[in-house]
Amino acid sequence: MRSEHPATLAAAPEQGATEEATAVAHPNIALIKYWGKRDEDLVLPRVDSLSMTLDVFPTTTRVRLRADAAHDQVTLNGAPARGEALRRVVAFLDLVRERAGRAHRAVVDSENTVPTGAGLASSASGFAALAVAAAAAYGLDLDATALSRLARRGSGSASRSVFGGFAVWHAGPARGTAQEADLASHAEPVPTGDLDPALVVAVLDAGPKEVSSRTAMRRTVDTSPLYESWAASSGADLAEMRAALLAGDIETVGEVAERNALGMHATMLAARPAVRYMTPATLAVLDRVLRIRRDGVPAYATMDAGPNVKVLCRRADAGQVAAALWEAAADGTVLVAGPGPGARLLGGDGR
Ligand code: 2P0
C-alpha cells in the first residue's frame, strides 16, 4: 500500500542484512456477515460481506527478512507462536515469498491489543497488518486492492481491514477459473451518507473460543439445513444495507445488521453438531438492547464467532448505550468504538 510514511526498508540486501517493514491494522466488525467458504485454499467466501473497521484494538506487526535463517520466527505479543497460529503465518509468508521470487525467511513480531481468538476479529487486524508489512519487506509493490486480495489468503475477514470505514468484500463469481475468482474477491470502500456511527462493544468473555470460526463455518456449510436460505437472504440484506448506508439511515442499517447476524447464528445452531457461541451473558445483553430500543434509542446488536456483543448506534447515543450495557454485562467490560483507518505502513520512527 502506498503510504505517506515510507516503509523502514534497508537499501541493498546484503548477506545477513535486514530488510524490514512495520504495519498497523485495526479489526473490523461485519454488519453483513462472512460465513462459509466455497474454496478453502483460496479463501473464497460463499457470500459478499460488509463491515466497519474500528478505531480500537490495533495490531502492529514488524516483518524482518533474515538471509541467514532456516525458519521463520514468529512472536505474538512477545511469546513464540506455535501450532496452528504459526502454521498459518508461515503459509502466508510462503505465498508472499512465491510472489516476490525470494526465499529469505523472516522474523515476525506482532503486538495485538485485541483478545486473540475471542470473536473480536483478531485475525482480521492480524493478517491485514501482516499482509501490508510482509509485502513491503519482500519488495512487492501492491495497491490497496491487491493487498486486500493478499490479506484474504491469511484470513477472509482481513481483506476488509485493509480499508478504513465501511468496506464490502466481494465473493466474486461462483463460476469461472480459480484465477478469475481470486482476482474478483477483494474488499473495497463503501460510500456512506451522513452517518455518525458508533459500535459499543460488550466484551463478555475475552478467552479463546472452543470452536474456531474456520471449523464452525465448515461444519455449518456442510451440515446445516438452514445455511442455503441464510446465504440467499444475505444477498438481499447487503443490497438493503448499502442503500441505507448511502441514505444515512442508521435505523435500517441496524435492523438489517441485527437480522443478518441472528440469521448467521441460527445457521450454526442448526449445524450437526450445533455450534453455539451465545451464552446467557450474550442473551442478557441482547435483552438490554431491546429495552434500549423500546426506550426510543436506535441501537442494534451484532455478534460474531464468540459470546461478545457489538451494538451499533449513533455516536451521540453511544454514552447512554454504553451505560446501559455496563449494567447488563455483569462481569464484562464495555467500550465505544468509531470508524477507524485502513491498514498502513509505519515510518522508521514507529509513527
Ligand atoms: C465476519 N467472521 O464476517 C464473520 C462473522 C466471524 C463471524 O470473518 O477462516 O477469521 O480465517 O477466513 O476471517 C471470522 O472468520 O475466518 C469471520 P477465516 P475469519 O467477520
> How confident is residue 348, by pLDDT bands cut at 50, 70 and 90?
low
- In the numeric block, the cell 510482509 is attached to 134
Higher pLDDT, 174 or 303: 303
- Rounded to the nearest angstrom, the distance between the alpha carbon of 205 and the centre of ligand 1 is 18
In this structure, which topology does domain 20-192 adopt according to CATH? Ribosomal Protein S5; domain 2 (3.30.230)
Cα(first)–Cα(last) distance of the chain, in Å? 16
- Which atom, in ligand 1's list, is nearest to the CA of 217? 9
- Rounded to the nearest angstrom, the distance between the alpha carbon of 322 and the centre of ligand 1 is 25
Q: Which pLDDT belongs to residue 350?
A: 57
- Weakest-pLDDT range from 117-126, 169-178, 207-216, 272-281: 117-126
Q: Which pLDDT belongs to residue 118?
A: 53
Same fold, 20-192 and 197-337: no
Q: How far is CA 228 from CA 31, 188, 256, 257, 296, in A?
A: 19, 25, 18, 18, 35
What pLDDT, in 10s, does the model give residues 151-194?
999 999 999 999 999 999 999 998 899 999 999 999 999 999 99
Which residue lies with its CA nearest to atom 8 of ligand 1? 157
pTM score, whole prediction: 0.93
CATH of domain 197-337: 3.30.70.890
Domain boundaries, the chain: 20-192, 197-337
- Which atom, in ligand 1's list, is nearest to the CA of 152? 12
Q: Which residue from 155, 199, 238, 282 has its CB within 8 A of the most atoms of ligand 1, so it is best to mutate?
A: 155
Over pLDDT 90: what percentage of the chain?
Answer: 86
Q: Which residues line ligand 1 (CB under 6 A)?
A: 30, 33-35, 43, 49, 123, 155-157, 213-214, 304-305
Q: Is the pLDDT at 51 greater than 50, yes or no?
A: yes
108: helix, coil or strand? strand
- Rounded to the nearest angstrom, the distance between the alpha carbon of 69 and the centre of ligand 1 is 32
Q: Which pLDDT belongs to residue 274?
A: 98
Tell me what the mean pLDDT of segment 247-258 comes to.
98
Which residue lies with its CA nearest to atom 4 of ligand 1? 34
Give the DSSP H or E segment for 343: none
SS3 of 216-248: the string is HHHHHHHHCCCHHHHHHHHHHHHHHHHHHHHHC
- Which atom, in ligand 1's list, is nearest to the CA of 156? 12
Q: Is the pLDDT at 8 greater than 70, yes or no?
A: no
Q: Is the pLDDT at 18 greater than 80, yes or no?
A: no
